[in-house]
A = this chain, B = another copy of it.
Amino acid sequence: MYAEAGWAGFTFDAIAARSGVGKAAIYRRWDSKLGILQAAMRAASVGFVEVPDTGELRSDLVCVARTLVERLDQPVGMAELRLLLDAKLFPEEFADLDHARAASRVKARETVDRAVARGELPAGTRPEFVFDLVRGAVVHNFLMVPTGMADAWRARRAQFTEEIVDAALAGLRAQGTAIATS
Write out the residue numbers on chain B whose beta carbons fall within 8 Å of the beta carbon of A174: 167, 170-171, 173-174
Is B164 within 8 A of A132, CB to CB? Answer: yes
Write out the residue numbers on chain B whose beta carbons fall within 8 Å of the beta carbon of A148: 98
Is B141 within 8 A of A128, CB to CB? Answer: yes
Write out the residue numbers on chain B whose beta carbons fall within 8 Å of the beta carbon of A128: 141, 144
A53-93 Cβ-contact flags toward B at 8 Å (1 or 0): 00000000000000000000000001001101101110100
Q: Which of A87, A88, A89 has the most CB of B within 10 A?
A: A88
Measured in the bound complex, the distance between the Cα atoms of B167 and A137 in whole Å is: 13
| Stretch of A1-9, A19-27, A32-40, A110-118 contacting B (4+ beta carbons < 8 Å) | A1-9
Say how far A115's CB is from chain B's closest CB, in angstroms: 15
Measured in the bound complex, the distance between the Cα atoms of B87 and A181 in whole Å is: 45
The range of chain A's interface size is 35 or more
Overall SS of chain A's interface: helix
Given contacts A78-B85, A136-B136, A164-B132, contact A147 B3 (CB under 8 A): no
Is A138 within 8 A of B141, CB to CB? Answer: no
Q: Which of A131, A140, A163 has the most CB of B within 10 A?
A: A140
Write out the residue numbers on chain B whose beta carbons fall within 8 Å of the beta carbon of A102: 146
Write out the residue numbers on chain B whose beta carbons fall within 8 Å of the beta carbon of A7: 5-6, 9
Write out the residue numbers on chain B whose beta carbons fall within 8 Å of the beta carbon of A173: 170, 174
Is B85 within 8 A of A81, CB to CB? Answer: yes
Write out the residue numbers on chain B whose beta carbons fall within 8 Å of the beta carbon of A139: 136, 139-140
Closest 3 CB pairs of A and B: A8-B9, A171-B171, A136-B140
What are 11 A-B contacts with C-beta separation under 8 Å? A3-B89, A6-B8, A6-B9, A98-B146, A128-B144, A129-B163, A131-B140, A132-B140, A167-B175, A170-B170, A170-B178
